[in-house]
Amino acid sequence: MSWRHPEITDAIRRALAEDVGPGDITTEACVPPGARAEGLFLARQPLVVAGVELLGEIYDQLGGVDRIEVLHPSGDEVRADEPVARVQGPTRTLLTAERTALNFLQRLSGVATVARRFVRAVEGTGCRVLDTRKTTPGLRRLEKLAVAAGGATNHRLGLYDAVLIKNNHIAAAGGVRRALERAAASGKPVQIEVRTRQELVEALACGASHLLLDNLPPAEVAEAVRFIAGRAKVEVSGGVTLDSVRAYAETGADFVSAGALTHSAPAVDLSFRIL
């Protein structure tokens, strides 16, 4: 995925339209048209940077600036009061873009920072941390880029990427076997959620190669992993938190997915300062 995808360009356009509307009346009233300035984006707390690559598009949509210097690209860890990027150009443009730029940087860096914490929590286990589709509507691509900047792994971008058979699909299809048989014709990778030992046994008997164990405590996951014995890849999901992710990773599961990477990541503290 790229920070310059058309969906992201459109998200920036909508964000600027929402904030600027017909014009920044405060800046236009206070700042002469020809004024120029330099500004710094500063981290106000330790964080993992994400989204700084958006600054060029944000400023371009407002007429452009003279120079953008990215001091820390997405994925870098920075300390409090450390500059992340420096920009030079028309003062009016810098001030008008300030809130939109910070909103993107604070939100995305928050996601990246949480993702890095999850990845650190499972170090040495061989288990990989996955994101989910529990994202802010319209901002999924950006939030998944932020997850990747934090070092976690992107799962499906949407319903079109791969087949993930969940409990409602199983019920609607008439059982595990029927759901798997129908899904095999898609030609896509197939993963199936199992919630009971009976479903697990049936899925393995049908040749399932990727199982999702949902809402089980770590002890039951460990027992299931021993029973599966390498016959299928195992992903764990359901209520995984930063406090519990290590216990799940130590069960021997191949993957652990956490919606908290995106739906519960708090915005971090960044500021913009005109020099």
Q: Is 214 among the catalytic positions?
A: yes
Catalytic residue among 24, 193, 199, 254: 193
Inter-residue contact 140 to 154 (CB < 8 Å) = no
Phi first, then psi: give them for residue 270, nearest 5 degrees.
-125, 150
Q: Is 195 among the catalytic positions?
A: no
Q: Is 144 among the catalytic positions?
A: no
Catalytic residue among 36, 86, 134, 233: 134
Catalytic residue among 19, 214, 250, 269: 214
Residue 76 corresponds to which tokens in the numbers above?
Answer: 């870098």
Helix (H, G, I), strand (E, B) or coil at 67: strand
Q: Is 188 among the catalytic positions?
A: no
- Residues 233 and 211: their CA atoms lie apart, in Å, by 6
SS3 for 143-193 is HHHHHHHCCCECCCCCCCCCEEECHHHHHHHCCHHHHHHHHHCCCCCEEEE
Catalytic residue among 133, 156, 166, 177: 166
Catalytic residue among 86, 99, 133, 156: 99
Helix (H, G, I), strand (E, B) or coil at 41: strand
Active site residues: 99, 134, 166, 193, 214
